[in-house]
Amino acid sequence: MTEYKFRVEFLEEAKEFLDKLDEKARDKIVYNIWKARSTYDK
């Protein structure tokens, strides 16, 4: 089971911002957010 460092909840303003970006930029931002939450110290 994967443990997360934190839970991600996007504010409405963040959703609106992401919706204005092109798909490649939006995917990169979301990918890095999800990656950061599942990173753990070894």
Do 2 and 38 contact (CB within 8 A), yes or no?
yes
Domain boundaries of the chain, sorted by first residue = 10-42
Read off the pTM.
Answer: 0.71
- Say how far apart CA 34 and CA 14 lie, in whole Å: 15
Chain CA centroid to CA 1, Å: 20
pLDDT tens sequence across 1-42:
567 888 889 999 999 999 999 999 999 999 999 988 886 655
Largest CA distance in the chain: 37
